[in-house]
A and B are shown apart, each in its own frame.
Chain A
Amino acid sequence: MNIAVCVKHIPDPNLPGELDGQRLKREGVQGTLDPGDEFGVETALQLKQAHEGEVTLVSMGPPQALEGIRRGLSMGADKGVLVSDDSLQGADALITARVLAAAIKRTDFDLVIAGVESTDGYTGTMPSTLAELLGVPQLTFTNAIEATGDALKVHRQTVDGYQVVECSLPALITVTAGVNEPRYASFKGIMAAKKKPVEELSVADLGLSADDVKVAQNIVDISQAEERKAGEVIEDDGSGAAKIADYLKEAKVI
């Protein structure tokens, strides 16, 4: 089973984010492979262990996005594709999907894996768009994956449980953070990753025109997310437990 995993190099989410106009500042900040993508890489590596094949990491970003690909390669992926082009600066989710689709179409893929959403932009729309452009079925929010030759059976997480969904391959899945425990890159893996092939492509290499990558989305305004309100503090005068029980009943938890 040949698997393409979408990976994104993002500003380290453990550090406070900075703005560059109305966009997240990406240059000159400490970057990392999106932690959400490590679950996708791990899923691919486990499927590869069971079904053989090749794991290709596909990324779009500035040259330093290579670091993110290297991280995935050191975990055990086989090769990488990085689409890097000045014309892609400020690309929106639609353009990203278009570029990744063009890059993935050049590979011989059975399955495409992406995180549910990125840990920087959080639009969550890219994977669905990508599946549409590739013309393959999409199984989103998966947290358990079983592959049987040319088909997939997954658990699709919902608000109150999960659905069991099957589809034929090729397909695209998005994986949640609970799907597995991503492995550490071993030291040998890190050393080996330096020698693994990474193809670097431009927009023209993908056969896309300037119009294909012209940003249509316009950010009108951004504002601070509302701060979470402080919780209610209950003084325990002996009736604390009962008050908590009342609260949980009200929230329909019990």
Chain B
Amino acid sequence: MPADTRLLDEDQRALVGLVREFGSNELAPAVEGYESRGEDPRVLYAQLAELGLAGLPFPEDHGGGGQPYSNYLLLIEELAYHYLSFAIGVSVHTLCTFAVNEYGTEQQKKDVLTKLASGEWFGAYSLSESDSGSDAAALATKAERTEGAYILSGGKVFCTRGEEADVVLVMARTGGEGPKGISAFLVEKKTDGFSGLKKEEKMGWRSSPTWQLSLDEAQIRVDRRLGDEGQGFKIALASLDSGRLGIAACGTGLAQAALDATLEFTTEREQFGVPVAHNEGVQFMLADMSTQIEAGRRLYRHAAALRDAGEDYSLQAAQAKLFCTDAAMKVTTDAVQLHGGYGYITEYPAERFMRDAKGLQIVEGTNQIQRYVIGRRLTS
């Protein structure tokens, strides 16, 4: 059974109703095809924009939905329930849109935010480099200031929808070493010198394209620098705080899908003359799965409520990302186990759920980095 809606307000219920309808009519029948072809579901992003769901947590006067972040996460959980790779794409788009909304000038909001929040454009986010992942402040991509522009040179890795997005938020070095030497730039598609170098082959998330990007003396206008010079790392981390909640909601939605598929399978599958689910050993596993999911859901919604109330939430966001995605890994692994041989073959979705869960433990700060963030907050 999908997430409990009893305590949601009328707007939230309407939102969840709409997304579930979209999910079961459009996403569920499409997911297998896109995943097996490794094809970006461009049409679905356009449909999401038509439904007015591409910029839910951003101001209405800039094309957004004017909704609290908590409501946006309901959307993400429901999307992930049907189609994880798509939910990831939407979460990454929101990461980019968040930064423009938070740090953009009025002109940038007019030019870029309105397009992103309405879904006319979709955005991507690019921080990682081949030698700078968890140690993001060590990034080496250079941005040299010239007359009226910056010249960006270097290479980026692991950029979700880097080639498909209309604009990519790219972090590059304008100053000296360390976090204070980094600035953020809005790099538009088709900018000369900016291109997708290689699309990675991945274990999961196969229809969410992951790119190595090349910046070869790409010229970026000064008015496309987001925030001040040297503010880029702060922007990158603030976006991640917010984005972590999206990944947590993805974990919960994915785990819920795995549990529901497992409940269906184990109640139908009979061995020794009874449904597999009638065995206490199996029921205990199902009980643990559902409890983990529900606990995670409460954690990410609590963090989101803090965020909506204007409170500091970065500790809770890290806890939610850590817990929900570890829970997703455990739940999907058990889902495969409870499907027996059918869990290991591609005819059933359980193996895809398990492959997809692994990525969630790695992105937007590995779960080891989340523990580092949490530990540092607790002891400082």
Contacts and interface: CB of A to CB of B under 8 A. Distances in A.
Interface residues of A, number: 9
B18 interface: yes
B22 A187 contact: no
B18 A184 contact: yes
Interface string A168-187: 00000000000000001111
Interface in B238-255: none
11 contacts: A74-B14, A184-B18, A184-B21, A184-B51, A186-B52, A187-B18, A187-B52, A188-B65, A190-B14, A190-B15, A191-B11
B304 interface: no
A57 B21 CA distance: 22
Interface in B43-64: 50-53, 56
Contacts of A190: 14-15, 18
Contacts, number: 25
A184 B52 CA distance: 11
Contacts of B50: 184, 186
Contacts of A74: 14
Contacts of B14: 74, 187, 190
B29 to A, nearest CB: 15
Secondary structure dominating the interface of B: helix
A191 B64 CA distance: 13
B89 to A, nearest CB: 18
Contacts of B52: 186-189
A187 B49 CA distance: 10
Contact of B22 (A184, A188, A191): A184
Nearest to B47: A184
A188 B51 CA distance: 8
Nearest to A74: B14
A113 B22 CA distance: 26
A187 B50 CA distance: 9
Contacts of B21: 184
Contacts of B56: 187
A198 to B, nearest CB: 15
